[in-house]
Amino acid sequence: MQPDSSGVPGTSIGLRTRRRQPAMAALAAAVIAAGGLVGFLAYSQTSHRTAVLAIARSVTAGDVVRDADLTEVSVSLDPGLKPFAAAERSKVVGKRAAVSLTPGGMLSRGQITTRTLVGADEQLVGIGLKASQVPATRLSAGDRVQVVSTPADGAAEQQSGKADVDQEPSPRTIPARVVRVGAREQATGEVVVDVAVRAVDGPTLASRAAGGNIALVVAPSSAGGGS
């Protein structure tokens, strides 16, 4: 071993070792503190998570929500959110969707309704419509519409030959409220729309719908009666 400048062997090496020890101790303490902070944050995040209901399968507005349509997720809730707790599952199953429910979303209270879709003085009528018989704008439950009777092809030709255009009678209409919009058939392009109408108009609308010579017109919510 070579003596250092002071003439005492190993003195400089011992001093460097002693200087490193406090630095290493401080570094170790910092690492432990950082690890503890990360662990605390992870614990606080997981400990404040809440089990809530989420949507597992698509549900069309107006349809009954079934148990298989729901799933449970654990989330950190924002105070502004109003979801259903997982423990409230039995309160949701059997109710109707107020809007269309999309898989993956959290179920909120405004998306479920207990409101009767058809009133005591109304009747529910299902009408099959082709793409040309409904507006391109998507219909939703609650939309107010007018069901307009359209003449058959032969009747339209006969009417155009007998009467002047200015003297043609107004089309017969029935006011209705959309209750449910079914899925469009891939083969035919037809979609079935369930509408609620006044009880006195139910049989008339069913008869007209059977002939297929009808169309839907979106109407203001204040639309009145028909003929």
Under the banding of pLDDT at 50, 70 and 90, the label for residue 160 is very low
Question: Residue 155 has what pLDDT?
Answer: 45
Question: Residue 72 has what pLDDT?
Answer: 93
d(CA 25, CA 185): 73
Count CA within 13 A, CB hemisphere, residue 218.
10
Which residues neighbour 211 within 8 Å (Cβ) at sequence distance 6 or greater? 152
Task: Render pLDDT for 5-62 as a digit per residue (tens, 0 to 9).
Answer: 555 555 555 555 555 566 666 666 665 655 555 555 554 455 578 889 999 998 877 7
pTM for the structure as a whole: 0.53
